[in-house]
Amino acid sequence: MALYEFENKKPRIGNGTFIFPSADVIGDVILGDNCYIGPGARIRADYGSIRIGSDTAIEENVVIHARPNERTVIGNSVTIGHGAIIHNAIIHDWAIIGMGAIVSDYAEIGEWGVVAEGAVVKNKTKIPKKAIAVGVPAKIVAEITPDYKTQWTEYKKIYVDLARTRFPSSLKKVGLSETKEK
């Protein structure tokens, strides 16, 4: 993992949080406990600050940034899917941001809010709690069901387990020679 101090601001990493070696965490970042930060993720708090709660999964190639002297806030038990971009937004607890989605400046995603894959949540848009938003620009199409909530609660536990136990105990970099068939 690459942790960078920038202008005397160092990332602070919670207990049980796992950051892949190819991820970058830069500047004024606070990561809660038991977070998963996937390969290629970029959490860049050079201008502003970034706060990420506990038990949150930031999957592969996610980009998180904040405007100068402002803050991006991501709550507890949030899942941010592969390749998503979060810029100067607020994402409340238990929210789900789909793969390739964009959540733009001053947008806010409510508790258990869902932003579908590829959706674009435009500047200053508010997605209420438990709402499902899809499209470009993102529009609310439904509300999550109790079954959906139960299913995603289990999915979120998988990433906490990856961060706390599986990756720290089993991830091992191998050389090319170790991958050749004999």
Summarised one tens digit per residue, pLDDT across range 93-130 is: 999 999 999 999 999 999 999 999 999 999 999 999 99
pTM of the model: 0.93
Cross-strand partners of 71: 49
The amino acid at residue 134 is V
Please give the distance of CA 162 from its chain centroid, rounded to a whole number. 15
Q: 6: which DSSP letter?
A: B
Mean pLDDT across the chain, nearest whole number? 95
SS3 category, 34? coil
Question: Which residues, 6+ apart, have CB-to-CB distance to 92 below 8 Å?
Answer: 75, 78, 108, 109, 110, 111, 113, 129
Contact 132, 116 (CB under 8 A): yes
Integer Cα distance of 130 and 149 in angstroms: 9
| Domains of the chain, residue spans | 2-179
Integer Cα distance of 109 and 107 in angstroms: 7
Assign domain 2-179 to its CATH architecture. Answer: 3 Solenoid (2.160)
Would residue 117 be called left, alpha or beta, if left means φ above 0 and alpha means ψ between -120 and 50 degrees?
A: beta
What confidence tens digit (pLDDT) does each residue in 128-162 have?
A: 999 999 999 999 999 999 999 999 999 999 988 88
| Residue 179 pLDDT > 80 | no
Integer Cα distance of 16 and 34 in angstroms: 4
| Residue 177 pLDDT > 90 | no
- Predicted pLDDT of residue 30: 98
- The pLDDT > 90 percentage for the chain reads 84
Integer Cα distance of 163 and 33 in angstroms: 9
